[in-house]
Amino acid sequence: MSQAFLAKILSAGDLSPADQSLVLRLLDDVRTVAARRDIIRDGERPDHVHVMIEGWACRYKVLRAGPRQITAFLLPGDFCDTHVTIFNEMDHGIAAISESRVAYVPRGRMLELTERPGIARAFWWASLVDEAVLRAWIVNLGRRDAFDRVGHLICELHARLHNVGLADDGTFDMPLTQEELSDALGLTPVHVNRVLKRLREEGLMSFRRRQITISDIAALRAATDFDPIYLHLSKQRVPVPTA
Amino acid sequence: MSQAFLAKILSAGDLSPADQSLVLRLLDDVRTVAARRDIIRDGERPDHVHVMIEGWACRYKVLRAGPRQITAFLLPGDFCDTHVTIFNEMDHGIAAISESRVAYVPRGRMLELTERPGIARAFWWASLVDEAVLRAWIVNLGRRDAFDRVGHLICELHARLHNVGLADDGTFDMPLTQEELSDALGLTPVHVNRVLKRLREEGLMSFRRRQITISDIAALRAATDFDPIYLHLSKQRVPVPTA
DNA sequence: CGGAATGTTGACAGTCATCAACACTAGTGG
DNA sequence: CCACTAGTGTTGATGACTGTCAACATTCCG
């Protein structure tokens, strides 16, 4: 599964073979994290960063009044928290959603590697992609109604999973509860439930037993105004609607 | 005004004097952009990146159905679009809000500079800060009501402007219309207007003639649950509530 | 098997959007 | 310098989308 990480980092451009093997060797300390357990907590000052190897995780922030907002889903191959390489303190938490395998990379090794321009650039590139995803998330929350919002997120997850080989056509496993979905979308679980029902009734997609089935990707993308450009997967696989 | 940029990039850590002067020399081509004019458009493939020297700009995305979402405000010292150093195509537009002075940096020079580890790391750091701001924006849109949302954004802008020396105590110039505010907050202009009225009535802040006056920063921050940690300004000035 | 977590549905309420009219401001041209 | 007009701000009435509360069904897991 660590080829997901490799594939991502490599698509940053032209890592020399030497750099490639250095990057791969970052992943020698892989640990298992149980589902629904924190990988790192808000306010911590860890001495290592994490890379998702297998499973799903999420970034989240809990407000004083209680509500939670998920700001990102982390899939195999994603860096969880490169910022602790540079910042001293986490400003949010990261939790495993499904049982996951996570690589632990000492902060010092990250800093060492960034002495190499190619690698520093690759890490930077990864951050820039994350930024683009965050911007799309903002657009989703700010300017789409609940229906489009849910559909758009599913399209994004589908594209990203497909990119790392974890989604065929229109089917993939999604270990999220409706409550977690609602925390990501700025909605309530009840309303997410209703929207899912409508998506099902309209024949666009269904979510049953932790599995997503998109009946007609092109239709869902059109309905929810999804354009995968922002994922910047150009050098990798992008699922093309079979239109 | 370019000391804003310098201050930001320098706080990335330890740029050597040589690196510092290289970075500063990036800013030799500064042009003026009129208010409300695009600095760069969605879909363009420019051959240079932009740095804000003076004035305000915003990132925005226009959806097919028409509504606009602003995903970031760009203040003096901010990179506008480092991603074009690496990606080929803009996935959103950037527009000047007030008349602005903007440095144009050829893409090639950016790539050259990233051959130097210290500089690559500094650029990376800037991206990581942007990411943190985007995450806070998502939390704002997803989990705060209109009232807290407006107040929180004002707190953020105040902290950022103070950081580059453009805000004293609780006063600063903000060249935004209520419509632009609403595009940033995922609200309608009408509702932003009502919220501003309430903020005024409750004695927290006012917005008149393009000027923000925060009567009681500590109170506004408390009311809207603002914690400046996410701005990662630690090495720079952070406005401390006079409580 | 049984209890807890998750999903589902309905009734009702509230926030915010929409529509519309009018006031004010600012910039333009005569 | 004033008049004029477009843009921006303000306020009210109305309605839609989404949240809240609550009950019950279903699934998951020890």
Sketch the domain layout of chain A as residue ranges: 3-123, 144-231
d(CA B136, CA B83): 20
pLDDT of residue B232: 85
Provide the pLDDT confidence category of residue B84 given band limits of 50, 70 and 90: confident
Q: Decide which of B161 and A237 is more confident.
A: B161
User: Dihedral, CA atoms, B81, B83, B88, B94, nearest 10 degrees?
Assistant: -20
Q: Which chain B positions have a beta carbon within 8 Å of A138's beta carbon? A: 69, 71, 134, 137-138, 141
The answer as to CATH 3.40.920.10 being correct for domain A3-123 is: no
d(CA A6, CA B39): 35
pLDDT of residue A9: 67
- Chain B's closest residue to A65, CA to CA, is B225
pLDDT digits (tens, 9 = 90+) for B174-189: 999 999 999 999 999 9
Architecture in CATH of B144-231: Orthogonal Bundle (1.10)
pLDDT of residue A240: 42
C-alpha distance from residue B156 to each of A211, A229, B76 (Å) = 39, 29, 15
- Average model confidence (pLDDT) for chain A? 90
pLDDT digits (tens, 9 = 90+) for A158-170: 999 998 889 988 8
* Alpha-carbon gap: B232 to the closest alpha carbon of chain A (Å): 7
Query: Are residues B231 and B241 in contact, defined by beta-carbon separation less than 8 angstroms?
Result: no
**Which residues are within 8 A (CB) of A166 and not within 5 positions of it... i.e. 6 or more apart?**
A4, A75, A76, A172, A173
Q: With pLDDT > 90 as the criterion, what percentage of chain A qualifies?
A: 73
pLDDT of residue B239: 44
pLDDT of residue A243: 34
pLDDT of residue A206: 96
pLDDT of residue A10: 63
Class of domain B3-116: mainly beta
Query: Are residues B40 and B52 in contact, defined by beta-carbon separation less than 8 angstroms?
Result: no
Mean pLDDT confidence for B127-153 = 97
* Alpha-carbon gap: B112 to the closest alpha carbon of chain A (Å): 10
Residue A191, CA: closest nucleotide via C1'?
A: D18
pLDDT of residue B155: 98
d(CA A7, CA A3): 6
Residue-wise over A199-220: b if at least 16 C-beta within 10 A, else e?
beeeebbebeeeebebebbebb
- Identical topology for domains B3-116 and B144-231: no
A234 has pLDDT over 80:
no
A206 forms beta bridges with A213
At a 7 A CB cut-off, the residues bordering strand D are A 145-147, 186-188, 190-191, 209-210; B 177-179, 189-190, 193-194, 196-197
